[in-house]
Structure 1
Amino acid sequence: MGTGIAIWQVIILTIYSMYQIMDELTLQTSLSQPIWAGIIAGLVMGDLKTGLVIGGSLQLTVLGVGTFGGASKIDANSGTVMATAFAIGTGMNGQVAVAALGVPVASLMIQTDIVARFANTFFQHRIDKMIEEENYKGIERNYLYGYLPWTLSRGIPVFLALAFGGPFVRTAVDYMNTNLAWLSNGLATAGALLPAVGFAILLRYLPVKKHWPYLILGFVITALLSTLYGNVSLLGTTIAGIDSKFTTAFAGLPMLGIALIGFALAAMQYGRTVKEQQVAAAKPAASATDSNEQDGEIHGDEL
């Protein structure tokens, strides 16, 4: 296609963009998360690292974003797919792609999400009519027909953008890297700050006041281990510069270790929460309701 994105890549990414909304609404296997969108798009485009960086950035950006009732939220998955594809296909900086493509596209997809919701009501009304007629086969068919507006709401925009938007994006990238270097640098800075915004939104809705010891503990453990591993790596690099026979390589901070520490703390808190709920369930319903209103935390049985 002359844009760095082959037609087979466009087709695979379009199919994935259609699947991810189905997964989010039904199966919920986590393949509809931005990090997975970055992994899949990165593998398809041949640069997994860039896909992980963009997917991880947008995953952190939408950590605290959710929907209630019929509300629509930004489609960070489609934004990740397009940002990753164009970043790899046109050589755009990953952080610039997040700020210039990922977030705007994710926001624009709100409109297609609304269109899909409105179109889906057509099949919902048909199902209502068939329930009265006890037409069970028709109910099943129209339930499956409801996938059409949802999948097309993602597939059509992604396909058109990837198939025909390449030349425009390449021209814009070249122009930004030369005549608008200041804007490119600003967008890169903004893209790097977006994960912090996601964390801020998440902390706004988490019961931080109740579980602040865990927040402090997690921060301190991460900071200590980061400092320790950073200094050890620096020491190894210094020794290697002095003695050519020193070839030992020091690994960086293992994020799996941090994740396991966090998992252990979460498991401990989960066990305490389960016990609290069991005790509350044994009390009169009115007493349990008063307790939930006082601590302000949403428990699993209230969702």
Structure 2
Amino acid sequence: MIQWWQILLLTLYSAYQICDELTIVSSAGSPVFAGFISGIIMGDVAKGLLIGGSLQLMVLGVGTFGGASRIDATSGAVLATAFSVAKGIDPEIAISTIAVPVAALLVYTDILGRMSTTYFAHRVDAAVERFDYKGIERNYLLGAIPWAASRALPVFLALALGGTFVENLVEGVENVQWLANGLTLAGRMLPGLGFAILLHYLPVKRNAHYLALGFGLTAMLTAVYSNLSSVAGAVAGIIGEAGLETTVFSAAPFKGLPMIGIAILGAFLAVLHYKHATEVKVVAAPSNVESGEIEDDEF
């Protein structure tokens, strides 16, 4: 059962995350961060990160250019994590049955929030004409209320009233094995869909060598560290049979090393790109720009 203080904290976070996404942009409004925070509040960080990370991968290539609304994967991560932990629902089924439908439904509250802020925008315009600086500040801050309510209210209602409904829904799905298997498979495919959308908008043809490099390095590092992990496990077994205790030769520290290697390489390439961009004063427009791709100045 979800406690009242958990509902309160998750509601407050839901109100804050959208305001952060629009103003501070500290990544607190991202799905993976939502899963992390929700996991802390619910007492299962691992499950929260699994759900949040899966939804983060799903929306990698989704943007809101021109003020367009998009699916609210962040609120979906909050609710999926909360119900998954509280009701013991499998994370992959929670993603398919809770997170994705919630993310799609909250497009409507996003539109409502956008429309509501126009009232305060007109009041700001009127205050500008009167040179009323206090009025400008006041109405600007009041404009955050519709945005916060567009996320906080649905999350609160779902957490406070939807527990029994969600539990019955998931139990019904799990009783139909083929449906549960299908939803589990769909949940596993969503990160791949996110990568496909992202690659569609990135200039892959002009940077195919980087894509090949990343794939090759990932494969090689995974193989190398998998072998090291096997050796460490064997050594740990021998030491254990000898009656000695050690924590150095353990397979666990090697599990995340492939991604650490890729992260270090990515940081190096990012610094290299930044230094090159700051040194080049005039850059000619590329002649082979792919149709539909996103350029740097469009973010």
TM-score (ref. length: structure 1)? 0.89
Do residues 209 (structure 1) and 212 (structure 2) align? no
> Deviation string for 1:153-172 (max 9, x for gaps)?
10100000001101111122
C-alpha distance in structure 2 between counterparts of 1:50 and 1:302, whole Å? 35
Aligned to 2:23: 26
Equivalent residue for 2:170, pick from 173, 176, 179: 173
C-alpha distance in structure 2 between counterparts of 1:29 and 1:240, whole Å? 42
Do residues 63 (structure 1) and 60 (structure 2) align? yes
Deviation at 1:200, TM superposition (A): 0.6
Equivalent residue for 1:122, pick from 107, 119, 124: 119
Equivalent residue for 2:262, pick from 252, 258, 261: 258
Do residues 267 (structure 1) and 263 (structure 2) align? no
Deviation at 1:238, TM superposition (A): 5.4
Counterpart contact for 1:226–1:253, Cα < 8 Å: no
> Deviation string for 1:207-232 (max 9, x for gaps)?
11111111111111111111122233
| Structure 1 spans left out of the alignment, 5+ residues | 281-287
Deviation at 1:116, TM superposition (A): 0.6
Counterpart contact for 1:63–1:202, Cα < 8 Å: yes
* SS of 2:282 mapped into structure 1: helix
Aligned to 2:250: 249
C-alpha distance in structure 1 between counterparts of 2:135 and 2:276, whole Å? 47
C-alpha distance in structure 2 between counterparts of 1:184 and 1:298, whole Å? 37
What amino acid is aligned across from residue 270 of structure 2 in structure 1? A
Equivalences, count: 289
TM-score (ref. length: structure 2)? 0.90
What amino acid is aligned across from residue 94 of structure 1 in structure 2? P
Deviation at 1:101, TM superposition (A): 0.9
Counterpart contact for 1:99–1:187, Cα < 8 Å: yes
Aligned to 1:193: 189
Do residues 279 (structure 1) and 299 (structure 2) align? no
Equivalent residue for 2:219, pick from 220, 223, 227: 223
Deviation at 1:300, TM superposition (A): 4.2
Compute the RMSD of aligned alpha carbons: 2.0
C-alpha distance in structure 2 between counterparts of 1:249 and 1:300, whole Å? 43
Equivalent residue for 2:108, pick from 104, 108, 111: 111
Deviation at 1:126, TM superposition (A): 1.6
Counterpart contact for 2:83–2:89, Cα < 8 Å: yes
Deviation at 1:181, TM superposition (A): 2.3
C-alpha distance in structure 2 between counterparts of 1:80 and 1:298, whole Å? 27
> Deviation string for 1:24-64 (max 9, x for gaps)?
11111111111100000000000000000000000000001
Aligned to 1:285: none
C-alpha distance in structure 1 between counterparts of 2:50 and 2:298, whole Å? 35
Q: Which one is further off, 254-263 or 4-13?
A: 254-263
Deviation at 1:99, TM superposition (A): 1.2
Deviation at 1:269, TM superposition (A): 3.0
> Deviation string for 1:169-227 (max 9, x for gaps)?
112222222x2122112111111110000011111111111111111111111111111
What amino acid is aligned across from residue 152 of structure 1 in structure 2? A
* SS of 1:29 mapped into structure 2: coil
C-alpha distance in structure 1 between counterparts of 2:256 and 2:145, whole Å? 45
Counterpart contact for 2:73–2:100, Cα < 8 Å: yes
Counterpart contact for 1:90–1:173, Cα < 8 Å: no
Aligned to 1:183: 179
* SS of 1:54 mapped into structure 2: helix
C-alpha distance in structure 2 between counterparts of 1:302 and 1:32, whole Å? 21
